[in-house]
Amino acid sequence: MIDLSGKTALITGGSRGIGKAIALRLAGQGADVAFSYKGNEVAAAATAGELEALGRRAVPIQGDVREPESAEAVVKAALEALGKIDILVNNAGITRDDLIMRMTPEAWRDVLETNLFGAFWTTKAVTRPMLKARGGRIINITSVSGQAGQMGQANYSSAKAGLIGLTKATARELASRGITVNAVAPGFVLTELTESLPDDLKAQITERTPLGRFGTTEEIASAVAFLASDEASYITGQVLAVDGGLVMM
């Protein structure tokens, strides 16, 4: 069993969806958890309550990671509350889907700044304390869209592909201090967003997926927990696809 007792984690975008599932899994394995949220205080409070019910410390932190100063403030608040950050999960992300010919500059910029720049700013902010501790785990949540591209998601696919490059570059820079950096690439996962998809589109997705179904947020969280643990101590710079076989590389 994965044991994260005594570890502390910071998860960006951790109040709902995949981020919340990751927070609950890490807490369930023994970690104290800080998580950022952009604006939904009700969801953040509910998630914090669920984490505390597991007997762990929970620290919700309001902040927008696409702003460097805000990302630094989120990391600082987590350090002050928990004393250290052993695990950083860059999960915060948005979509603004449209075809390239119709995509606005704002839609392009917002997705890149949140999904890619945000991960860079939080990684940058956590690097110094992890270097001093001579250890740590950084896990970036990318996507099959970043591996194979997705029509109508030029912004999202570009950001998630960039996140893979960031993962590998950071892994090389930090390896000498015992810090591992990996990415998890979810396929189509059952969330509030995908539940509202038309039935015919859901059928197309399951047909394209070799395992013939959507994934669950808990399955993504299991991969993150593994990469965050001592069991993954010799794994770095890798992209772990949790996608039912959708993208085989």
* Catalytic machinery residues: 156
CA distance 141 to 119: 9
Residues 6+ apart with CB under 8 A from 204: none
CB-CB contact of 30 with 230 (8 Å): no
Residues 6+ apart with CB under 8 A from 239: 142, 147, 164, 167, 182, 183, 184, 185
Cross-strand partners of 11: 35, 89
Closest CA to 26 of 41, 42, 43, 11: 11
